[in-house]
Structure 1
């Protein structure tokens, strides 16, 4: 694995930072999709994308996560990438519209119980509830695993389809809306098999890990800058050894989360690691989300009184970190999945003894 960005990848990162520094939220989606064409960054050129790899996808996700950009980019890019890698997904006609941002797509959370579907002459008919769908109120197309005759397949359903009902849910993080989508015999299209279901979830979890690590680094950078300029007792508080030690510990944590997240994303997208991503993706999501929450909490504390105010962005990062830890399958679910895929047999994916959760959080 090459851990350095190429010149082109560094240029992409810098362009994104320039755009995010000056563009307001209302125009950001149009700027990123219609003008820069980033929604299809990892979709092959022959189906309307830019032909990049999951590394380019990670660069975009990381930069948007760094500023908590309130756009459904993570979901749309992952959905497009998943469809592009699936033989059935390429034939749906959705890819060109997803790649240029005319359609907003996303995945249902992997921790939910898959709905049941039946095959008909027109495709699939789905019955079930998709709960806590990230960016659900914004999505045009939702990809979800469904069970057909006891077999898992990946299906695409239009959110505005007949017999599909969307309910916007209250959420701690206002920059990332959630929805419950009830499907009562809604028409859907089969876009992948069981392998595509697993690949979709792995890519989503790895991308969330990269996003969380980038947001954690942003929290640390803002905190260090504050410690350099905040003066107490005639000196910048960053010169106090106790605070330096706390920041050093956070820096080590952020570096570990970043390395773990990027390795997982590389493994999911690499032909050289066909099984590596299945274990590292859920592991990276849990680790990066936990690191993000710790750094965001320390950011509030180390900023002092201003860190607790509504005007300072610290609370936005803490909300995102807290919600991310619970979304896309929580910690216990992810650990159970890692155990199952690694053949360890240590945890079940269902409810566990709460004492083990308390011990693991110390």
Structure 2
């Protein structure tokens, strides 16, 4: 396991960070004023100009041919800015379909099939080949509907014998604007991912009010909606979501600390900078230690998702629980340490607090996830 980033990964981080420094603040302000809106111009620049949507998509499908670690780097930076775009869900959808299509250009060629051009490929591979180019260039947006499974329950959707979906999936990140959905559905073979187009008959989308105005969550109802069974266990999608939320939480927590330290350096009280008071120094130092542990845990989970699925089964839920808790603590401390301004609507502190709480509860509460870790690790029965 290599604990250092490559030059290409560092360059990716820097380019993403510069882009967000220029455009991220305005996007968050607009989302706060009008929750639920997608800035399509910003999305086109993020996916077209920077090419971030197709990082884990093989080059044969128009992607960058990178991997899950590169997605994690971008997700961490987006989390630091709370950017209101459906990148996390769409990039993971593309990554899952890329795995289904063989993981790279060489695989398809070795099998004697050009997935990028062969429109007659059937089943899951055909669904992946049809939609990966659009997901890679950002003209299509993907989403994962598996919140019930992630929280330890049964899927709210079932796959009928005739290949149609019935039921309701809630808390779908990016589901309000998604063109392609990967739905965890109960079937005779367990929980299987199914591919669905947004324009398929019998599909209805609603967007209920949510705590976090920068990240809408859709509720999607299926009434005999035709779907393509992908032959993929739904647990893989859940583990990728847990990992991505852990990385996002670590990035957001780091931003909370950075903003707080900047405030304490600038703000003066009793003729001194607030940051010079020992009690406040201690609180920031404790936060810094917690956040570094969250970053390490999150990237270990990202590495495991890419290289060691057996470890990911244990590390992914642990990372999500730990990093979400650290984010919540960092956001709460940030609001307190900002003083009066931290409690106003004009400041962004409340947005980080809302994102932290919604992330804590989304896709499995911390207590459930820690119990799951214990059972998967063989510590609990």
* TM over 0.5, shorter chain: yes
Q: Distance in 2 between matches of 1:308 and 1:90?
A: 50
* Matched residue, 1:14: 14
Q: CA deviation at 1:247?
A: 0.4
Q: Distance in 1 between matches of 2:191 and 2:361?
A: 24
Contact kept? 1:118, 1:149, Cα under 8 Å? no
Contact kept? 1:296, 1:314, Cα under 8 Å? yes
Q: CA deviation at 1:193?
A: 2.5
What's the CA shift string for 1:275-297, capped at 9, x where partnerless?
00110001100100010010000
Q: Distance in 2 between matches of 1:245 and 1:105?
A: 43
Q: CA deviation at 1:182?
A: 1.1
Q: CA deviation at 1:89?
A: 4.0
SS of residue in 1 equivalent to 2:176:
helix
Equivalence map 1:317-356=2 (5 Å): 317-346=352-381
Q: Distance in 2 between matches of 1:89 and 1:215?
A: 35
Q: CA RMSD in A?
A: 1.4
Q: Distance in 1 between matches of 2:210 and 2:315?
A: 28
Moved over 3 A (4+): 87-90
Q: CA deviation at 1:219?
A: 0.3
Equivalence map 1:127-276=2 (5 Å): 127-194=166-233, 197-270=234-307, 273-276=308-311
Q: Distance in 2 between matches of 1:170 and 1:158?
A: 24
Contact kept? 2:317, 2:372, Cα under 8 Å? yes
SS of residue in 2 equivalent to 1:94:
helix
Unpaired segments of 5 or more residues in structure 2? Answer: 28-38, 102-122
What's the CA shift string for 1:140-178, capped at 9, x where partnerless?
122122122243211012233211121111101011001
Q: Distance in 2 between matches of 1:119 and 1:49?
A: 35
Residues 21 and 150 of structure 1: CA distance in aligned 2, closer, same or farther (over 3 Å): same
Equivalence map 1:261-340=2 (5 Å): 261-270=298-307, 273-340=308-375
SS of residue in 2 equivalent to 1:136:
coil
Unpaired segments of 5 or more residues in structure 1? Answer: 347-362
SS of residue in 1 equivalent to 2:207:
strand
* Matched residue, 2:76: 62
Equivalent residue in structure 2 for 1:91, among 126, 143, 147: 126
Q: Distance in 2 between matches of 1:53 and 1:150?
A: 29
Q: Distance in 2 between matches of 1:100 and 1:198?
A: 27
Greater CA drift, 145-154 or 127-136: 145-154
SS of residue in 1 equivalent to 2:169:
strand
Q: Distance in 2 between matches of 1:139 and 1:265?
A: 24
Contact kept? 1:103, 1:141, Cα under 8 Å? yes
TM-score with structure 1 length normalisation? 0.90
What's the CA shift string for 1:46-82, capped at 9, x where partnerless?
2221111211111111111110000000000000001
What's the CA shift string for 1:22-54, capped at 9, x where partnerless?
225333211011212110111111222111121
Q: Distance in 2 between matches of 1:101 and 1:19?
A: 17
SS of residue in 1 equivalent to 2:345:
coil
Equivalent residue in structure 2 for 1:37, among 42, 51, 58: 51
Q: Distance in 2 between matches of 1:228 and 1:66?
A: 20
Residues 256 and 183 of structure 1: CA distance in aligned 2, closer, same or farther (over 3 Å): same
SS of residue in 2 equivalent to 1:169:
coil
What's the CA shift string for 1:118-147, capped at 9, x where partnerless?
243xxx201111011112211112212212
Q: Distance in 1 between matches of 2:195 and 2:369?
A: 24
* Matched residue, 2:3: 3
Q: Distance in 2 between matches of 1:288 and 1:267?
A: 16
TM-score with structure 2 length normalisation? 0.86
Q: Distance in 2 between matches of 1:89 and 1:72?
A: 23
1:118 aligned to 2:160? yes
How many aligned residue pairs are there? 339
SS of residue in 2 equivalent to 1:21:
helix
